[in-house]
Amino acid sequence: MNRATTAVALIVVLIIGLVIGIAAAPTVMPPPTVTVTTALPTGVSALKVGLITPISEEDYSWNYAAYDAATKLQKVYGFELAVERNLFDGTAAEPYAVDYAKRGFNVIILQGIQYMDMAQKIAPSYPKTLFVCVDCFKVGAPNVYNIWMTLEEGGFILGAIAGKLTKTNTMGIVGGGRVPSIWAGHEGFKAGALYTNPKAKFLEAYMAFSWADVAGAKKTAESHVAAGADVIFSSGDGVDVGVIEAARDKKVWASTVYANLPKLRPEFKDILMGSIVFDWEIVYSAAIRDYLYGTWEYGFLTATMASGIIKVSIGDNVPADIKKMAMDLQSAIMFGSIKVFFDVDPSTGNYVCFDKPELPACAPTAGKVSYLPPTS
C-alpha cells in the first residue's frame, strides 16, 4: 500500500498503535439517508457496464451488496449490465475482464482486492475502458479507479455492542484473507469490545481458503463457541455464511458485513448482533460519473461513515440501551468527534501493526479507549 493511499484511507475509529483525540461530543443525530441521484451526465444509458464478483449474491454479504447496487443503478439509469460470478481470484477473472473490454464495455467493476494485480496488468491494453477495483490501492494504470474501504469504523461499533452483550467475556473473530482492510476491521472490533468491556478476550482466525470457505468458517466459529465464545464477529463473503449458520445452531450472537442482514434475513434476528452495511451505489455512481465527465484518470474514492457509504445496522433483538450507545458512537464517528489513524511505517507505507503485529504497542488494551465517554 502506498503512503498517499494510506493517508487518505485511515481516518476514523480506535485501533491498536494509534494516535487518538476526541472533541466535545456533538448532539446525537441519526446517520444521513443517502439516495441515488439521477443527475448523471447525458449518455449514461448508452454505457455498457460489467460486474465481476468472487462468489455469488447468494452470500447476502460482499457479493450480494455489489450485485444489489449494480442492478439498482441499472434500473435507474438504463445502461447495459453484465455480471460474472464465482471468479474467486484474478487468474480466473482475467479472461472475462478481457472479454468485456474487447467487447467495448465502458466500465468494468472488479469487486475485490484479489483482482488488483490483474487490473493493473490488463488495463494498459484497454485505455478506453475504466476498471473500477474495489478494496484496492495499487497505483499504476491511469484507467484503474481504486476504491478503498474502511472496515474499522463499523468493527469498533460492533465490538462495543459485543462487549455489552457477552456473558463469557470471550469473543470469536473469523475473517477471510488477511488483507489490510479485513485486518483493520478485526482490530476495530477488538478495540470497541475493550472499550465497553475491559475483560474481553479474543479468539481469532483467518480462513485457509480465504473468503469463499463457508465450511471452514462454520467449523472455526463452532470451535470458538466450544472454547467459550458467545459472540462471533465475521468479516464478509462466504465467511459470513458459515459464521451465521454456526451462530444460529449454537445460539450465540454474531455479526456480518456489507449487506443489511437485519433487514434481509429476519429469520436470524434472535442471534444477529448487527451488520456493517456498505452502499456501493454511491461508489459505482461516482466512478460512472467520472467516466462520463472524463475525470476518471487515477480515480480514487474512500468508503467511510462520513461519506455516507458505510453504516451499522443493529439487530432487532439487541437491547434498546445498547442500541442507543451504538448509535451515539456512530454519530460521533460520522461527525468527527472520534478521530483515529494508524501509525504508518514510512519505509514501507504499510500500517505498522499490520506488518508487525508482534510489537508490544500493537496489543489491544483497554487503556487505549480511556478518552471516550464512560460507559455505564
186 and 99, same domain (yes or no): no
Which CATH number do you get for residue 92? Answer: 3.40.50.2300
Same domain membership, residue 109 and residue 173: no
Domain of residue 190, residue span: 152-277+325-330
Based on the fold, state whether residues 145 and 12 are members of the same structural domain.
Answer: yes
Q: What is this structure's pTM?
A: 0.84
Provide the number of structural domains found in the chain: 2
**Greatest mean pLDDT range, 95-109, 320-334, 351-365:** 95-109
Give the pLDDT confidence of 146-201 residue by residue, as tens digits: 999 888 899 999 999 999 999 999 999 999 888 888 888 998 999 999 999 999 99
75 and 190 inside one domain: no
Residues 134 and 210 in one domain: no
For 301, list phi and psi in degrees, rounded to 5. Answer: -145, 135
Give residues with Cβ within 8 angstroms of 98, minimum separation 6: 122, 126
Asked whether residue 109 falls in the same domain as residue 157, the answer is no
- One domain, residues 208 and 232: yes
Do 159 and 22 fall into the same domain? Answer: no
How far, in Å, CA of 46 to CA of 132, rounded? 18
By three-state DSSP, how is residue 195 classified?
helix
Do 175 and 263 reside in the same domain of the chain?
yes
Which cell is 32 given?
444521513
Assess if residue 8 is contained within a domain: yes
Q: Indicate if 95 and 166 belong to the same structural domain.
A: no
In a domain, 343, yes or no: no
DSSP β-ladder status, 310-314 and 300-303: unpaired
Evaluate if residue 58 carries a pLDDT over 70. Answer: yes
Between CA 21 and CA 14 the distance in angstroms is 10
Give the model confidence (pLDDT) of 243-276 as tens digits: 999 999 999 999 999 999 999 999 999 999 999 9
Tell me if residue 234 falls in helix, strand or coil. strand
Q: How confident is the model at residue 39 (pLDDT cuts 50, 70, 90)?
A: low
Phi/psi of residue 279, nearest 5 degrees:
-100, 90
